[in-house]
Structure 1
Amino acid sequence: MRVSTLPRPHRHDVLLAVFGLSGGLLLWLLGLHLQSNRVLTALWVCLVPLAVVSGLELFRRTAPQTGLVVGTLALVADQFTVGNLATVLMFTDLVYAAVLYGKPSAARRIPVTTFLITVGVTIGFLAWFRTPQALLIGVVTAMVSFLPALTAVSVRNHRDAAATARLHAEQTALLAEMDRAQAVTAERARMARELHDMVANHLSAIAIHSTAALSIDDPGTSREALGVIRENSVDGLAEMRRLIGLLRTGDTAEPAASPTLASLDALVEQARTNAASSGLGCSFEDVREEPGPLPAPVELAAYRIVQESLTNALKHAAPGPVTVRLGQCGRLLTVEVSSALGERGGPRAPGSGAGLVGMRERVALLGGTIDAGPSAGSGGGRIWRVRAELPVEEGVSGR
Structure 2
Amino acid sequence: MTLPRPTFPRPHRVDLFIALAGLAGGLLLWSYGLYTSNSALLGQKWAPLIPLAVMAAAETLRRVAPHTALVVGTVTIVGDQFTHGNLATVLMFTDVVYASVVYGTPAQARRVPYTTALVTVGVTVGFLVWWQNAIALLVGALTGIVSFLPAVTGSIVRNHRDAAESARLRAEQTALLAEMDRVQAVTAERARMARELHDMVANHLSAIAIHSTAALSLDEPATTRQALTVIRENSVAGLAEMRRLIGLLRDSGAAGEPAATATLAGLDALVAQAEANGAASGLRFALDDARRDGPGLPAPVELAAYRIAQESLTNALKHAAPGEVRVALARGDGALTVTVTSPYGERPGPRAPGSGAGLVGMRERVALLGGELEAGPVAADGGGKVWRVRAVLPVGASEEERV
1:25 positional shift:
0.8
Instruction: Please give the residue correspondences for 1:119-158 in structure 2 after superposition, counting only pairs within 5 Å.
Output: 119-158=121-160
Out of 22, 25, 28, the position equivalent to 2:27 is 25
Number of residue pairs matched by the alignment:
396
Out of 317, 337, 341, the position equivalent to 2:340 is 337
Q: 2:293 matched to which residue of 1?
A: 290
Gap change, CA 1:373 and 1:4, over 3 Å in 2? farther
Q: 1:326 matched to which residue of 2?
A: 329
1:30 positional shift:
1.0
Q: 1:103 matched to which residue of 2?
A: 105
1:2 positional shift:
3.8
Establish whether residue 260 from structure 1 lines up as the match of residue 263 from structure 2.
yes
Q: Which amino acid aligns with 2:106?
A: P
Cα distance in structure 2, aligned partners of 1:363 and 1:371: 10
Q: Which amino acid aligns with 2:118?
A: L
Instruction: Please give the residue correspondences for 1:374-393 in structure 2 after superposition, counting only pairs within 5 Å.
Output: 374-393=377-396
Q: Which amino acid aligns with 2:318?
A: K
TM-score norm. by structure 1 comes to: 0.97
Structure 2 residue runs of 5 or longer lacking an equivalent are: none
Q: Which amino acid aligns with 2:276?
A: T
Gap change, CA 1:272 and 1:291, over 3 Å in 2? farther
Check conservation: 2:297, 2:398, Cα contact below 8 A. Answer: no
Establish whether residue 280 from structure 1 lines up as the match of residue 283 from structure 2.
yes
Gap change, CA 1:292 and 1:221, over 3 Å in 2? farther
42-51 or 292-301, which moves further after superposition? 292-301
Q: Which amino acid aligns with 1:287?
A: A
Q: Which amino acid aligns with 2:369?
A: L
Q: Which amino acid aligns with 2:310?
A: Q
Q: 1:9 matched to which residue of 2?
A: 11
233-242 or 281-290, which moves further after superposition? 281-290
Establish whether residue 270 from structure 1 lines up as the match of residue 273 from structure 2.
yes
Out of 91, 96, 108, the position equivalent to 1:89 is 91
Instruction: Please give the residue correspondences for 1:1-399 in structure 2 after superposition, counting only pairs within 5 Å.
Output: 1-250=3-252, 251-255=254-258, 258-290=261-293, 293-394=296-397
Q: Which amino acid aligns with 2:278?
A: A
1:252 positional shift:
4.8
Gap change, CA 1:11 and 1:235, over 3 Å in 2? same
1:279 positional shift:
1.1
CA RMSD for the aligned pairs? 1.4
1:37 positional shift:
2.3
1:291 positional shift:
6.5
Question: 1:375 is paired with a residue of what secondary structure?
Answer: strand
Gap change, CA 1:45 and 1:395, over 3 Å in 2? farther
Check conservation: 2:369, 2:394, Cα contact below 8 A. Answer: yes
Cα distance in structure 2, aligned partners of 1:225 and 1:291: 42
Structure 1 residue runs of 5 or longer lacking an equivalent are: none
Question: 1:43 is paired with a residue of what secondary structure?
Answer: coil
Question: 2:353 is paired with a residue of what secondary structure?
Answer: coil
Deviation string for 1:53-99 (max 9, x for gaps)? 10111110111011111111111111111111111110111100111
TM-score norm. by structure 2 comes to: 0.96
Gap change, CA 1:97 and 1:104, over 3 Å in 2? same
Question: 1:45 is paired with a residue of what secondary structure?
Answer: coil
1:36 positional shift:
2.3
121-130 or 268-277, which moves further after superposition? 121-130
1:231 positional shift:
0.5
Cα distance in structure 1, aligned partners of 2:366 and 2:260: 21
The share of aligned pairs that are identical, in percent, is: 67
Check conservation: 2:376, 2:388, Cα contact below 8 A. Answer: yes
1:391 positional shift:
1.4
